[in-house]
Amino acid sequence: MQTNLPIENQRNLRELPPRHLDWYTQAVLLLGDFVSQTGWGLLALGSVFFWTTAVNSEVKFWFQDKTVHWEDKEGVILKADSTNTFEDGMKVWRYLHSVAPGDGYRYRGTSYSVGKKFDAGQLAFIRYEVDDPRNNFAVGLRRSEHAWWVNLLLLLPVLGFALVLVPLRGNWRVLRLLKIGDFTRGQLFAKTPTGQVERFGAHVLPVFRFEFRFEHGGAVFHATCRTPHPALVEDEDSESILYDRYKPSFNLVYDAVPNLPKITAAGRLAPMGWEKVWVLFLPGFALAVNLVFILAN
């Protein structure tokens, strides 16, 4: 339901472009939407799994086997311990073993199996690299606690990164309009249901498409938006529109875009409130996780 506000009480952005926006406001606008936050969350979670499991899986040894000169020799199992990892309902076991290739030294190594294969003191054939016997493993066992399929966890950060990129172009366009856009007001001339809904907890709200008219240079242009909250764009006789004077079809309906700065009584963009600082947590955490593991490796 429209509320007819007197013209003098309507918000008007009188601050002329180019407008200055601090780094915090720009970061919230670029990263604060739901899709971006979901993407950063998946990227952070997927990165933790990837760096702790996938990079240490059997896959990293596949290419090595084709370039290394191996030899087999009888060795001994020094220790057999169960790990906290399970596959197919069975524990993954870790074995510490040693082998003496004939150079006067005895080299230790670690291998793994699903289900117990050896006990301490048993003999086993150890495959070792001729040029570097420190690289060795028990024949028939694997060299990683994690099977090759844990590399599928890479799909999580890849999906997360994709979700981060998807809204980035649109968010950048919004940010650009805030900096260089001209302000005007548009008249609502069409409101149509989209057939889509959005869920907010137990509430399901229909999404509507709104169309507004505004004038620039003697021509009429349209601005459209979609929102499940009609009151946001029906509370004034005319709605705030930001548009590019050189391409007026590049525009936005101000109140329909989440996280935009408030317009002060003086007609300026207010600094973004610190209650939005939480949107920087997931991006910061995701970047920190990857940086820590990259430097550690």
pLDDT, tens digit (0-9, with 9 covering 90-100), for 13-69: 888 889 999 999 999 999 989 899 999 999 998 888 778 776 666 666 666 666 778
pLDDT-above-90 percentage for the chain: 58
Instruction: Tell whether the model's pLDDT for residue 286 goes beyond 60.
Output: yes
Same domain, yes or no: 14 and 134: no
Q: Where are the beta strands (DSSP E) in the chain?
A: 70-87, 90-99, 107-114, 123-129, 136-138, 182-200, 203-216, 219-227, 239-244, 247-253
- Decide which of 145, 167, 197 is a domain's last residue: 145
Q: What is the pLDDT of residue 293?
A: 83
Cα gap 126→139, rounded to integer Å: 6
Q: Is residue 177 part of a domain?
A: yes
Same domain, yes or no: 24 and 83: no
Same domain, yes or no: 109 and 246: no
Cα gap 82→90, rounded to integer Å: 10
Stronger pLDDT, 114 or 52, i.e. the higher one: 114
Structural domain harbouring 89: 58-145
- Decide which of 99, 121, 145 is a domain's last residue: 145
Same domain, yes or no: 38 and 169: yes
How does the average pLDDT of the chain come out, rounded? 87
Q: Is residue 152 part of a domain?
A: no
Same domain, yes or no: 73 and 212: no
Instruction: Tell whether the model's pLDDT for residue 7 goes beyond 50.
Output: no
Q: What confidence tier does 156 reach under pLDDT thresholds 50, 70, 90?
A: confident
Q: Is residue 169 part of a domain?
A: yes
Same domain, yes or no: 250 and 137: no
- Decide which of 110, 145, 180 is a domain's last residue: 145
Give the CATH number of the domain where residue 83 resides. 2.40.50
Q: What is the pLDDT of residue 36?
A: 93
Same domain, yes or no: 215 and 237: yes
Q: What is the pLDDT of residue 4?
A: 47
